[in-house]
Structure 1
Amino acid sequence: MPIEIVFETHALSEDNERGIATGWLPGRLCDQGRANAADMGRRRRDDGIAAVFTSDLHRAAETAEIAFGDTDIPILYDWRLRECNFGTRNGSPGAEVKKDRLDYCDRPYPDGESHEQAIARVVGFLADLPSRWTGRRVMLIGHLATYRALEHVTTGLTVRELVAADFEWQAQGWEYRLA
Structure 2
Amino acid sequence: MPVRIVYESHATTTDNEAGIATGWLPGRLSPTGRRQAAELGDRRRGTGLDAVYTSDLARAVETARLAFAGAGSPVLRLRDVAAEWDGGQVLLIAHSANRWSLDCLLAGARLESVVADPPPWQPGTFYTLP
Deviation at residue 37 of structure 1 after TM alignment = 0.2
What amino acid is the match of 2:129? L
Correspondence 1:100-119 to 2 at 5 A: none
- RMSD, matched Cα: 1.4
SS, match of residue 20 in structure 1: coil
Aligned mates of 1:75, 1:27 — CA distance in 2: 17
Listed one character per residue, the Cα deviations across residues 117-161 of structure 1 (whole Å, up to 9, x for unaligned) are xxxxxxxx2222112011000000000121011101122223222
Larger radius of gyration: 1
Match of 1:77 in 2: 74
Aligned mates of 2:25, 2:69 — CA distance in 1: 23
Match of 1:147 in 2: 99
What amino acid is the match of 1:76? S
Aligned-pair identity in percent equals 47
Query: Please, which of 157, 164, 167 is the counterpart of residue 109 of structure 2?
Result: 157
Number of matched pairs:
130
Match of 2:26 in 1: 26
Match of 2:66 in 1: 66
SS, match of residue 43 in structure 2: helix
Normalising by the residue count of structure 2, what TM-score does the alignment of the two structures yield? Answer: 0.93
Correspondence 1:4-19 to 2 at 5 A: 4-19=4-19
Q: Does 1:127 align with 2:79?
A: yes
Q: Does 1:176 align with 2:127?
A: yes
Aligned mates of 1:126, 1:152 — CA distance in 2: 13
Q: Could you say which structure has the greater relative contact order, defined with CA pairs below 8 angstroms and 6 or more residues apart?
A: 2
Deviation at residue 51 of structure 1 after TM alignment = 0.6
Structure 1, gaps ≥5 residues long: 81-124
SS, match of residue 6 in structure 1: strand
SS, match of residue 134 in structure 1: coil
SS, match of residue 5 in structure 1: strand
